[in-house]
Structure 1
């Protein structure tokens, strides 16, 4: 059975995303209100639409955070299910066959250690490198 790589982006923290943050949006909105022309104030419909955008932005960020967490948990469960199983993996130099003996996590990414048939160990195998589970 082939295992598809299910990955979480390397940078999953909300503070490091390129998208506009809620605080930035509020600062722009407050500046707009502060410097608006008193003779032509901001239209109520436009004001409500901007608040709706803010709510939508916040909900989208929460959804992204939950999706990232879900993918991370799925990767972890998939890796844990491979302990004791024989797998075939592609390394930088060749295909190797070995039994998964341990799992380490680096930045939320599971890294497998394989014990080869010759008794050696190959470390830092990712789920994406596994092509066959035996």
Structure 2
């Protein structure tokens, strides 16, 4: 049976069918407890399953750490824009403005800028920025 990682509702990774690593180990232990003593599970197969589950847990842990690292990097990048003048593309033209604030309301950093004409534009995604000036 192949097990593929999916994201859980709480943001943590879980194995297929919503089971975490501890639940999968519980299934293996239950299998060992109720196995037929005349036909035990092959040792190689058992160790192979444990190794696969261990590898799955390590992969999920690494994935969670990379996700956290990317979020921290995005936050750092966004806050480094405070006070800088940026250019964004809007309706086919380029707008310039100074970054006034950074917001994380949607989980992704967005900035609020004030243009030279006094217009305030909020909710500008970092991906929409085409140029950063001092």
TM-score (norm 1): 0.76
Residue 11 of structure 2 is matched in structure 1 by 13
Residue 60 of structure 1 is matched in structure 2 by 59
- CA distance 1:27–1:69, change in 2 (3 Å): same
**SS of residue matched to 1:71:** helix
TM-score (norm 2): 0.76
Residue 116 of structure 1 is matched in structure 2 by 115
- 1:90 and 1:33 map into 2 onto residues whose CA distance is 62
CA-based RMSD of the aligned residues comes to: 2.2
Report if the CA contact (8 A) 1:112-1:123 is conserved: yes
Report if the CA contact (8 A) 1:12-1:68 is conserved: no
- 1:12 and 1:102 map into 2 onto residues whose CA distance is 29
How many residues align? The count is 121
Residue 21 of structure 2 is matched in structure 1 by 22
- CA distance 1:126–1:12, change in 2 (3 Å): farther
Deviation at 1:52, TM superposition (A): 1.3
- 2:127 and 2:35 map into 1 onto residues whose CA distance is 53
What are the residue-to-residue correspondences of 1:25-64 with 2, within 5 Å?
25-34=24-33, 36-64=35-63
Q: Which runs of 5+ in 2 are unaligned?
A: 1-8
1 or 2 for the larger relative contact order (CA 8 Å, sep ≥6)? 1
CA displacement 1:81-105 (0-9 Å, x = unmatched) = 11111111134x3432111110011
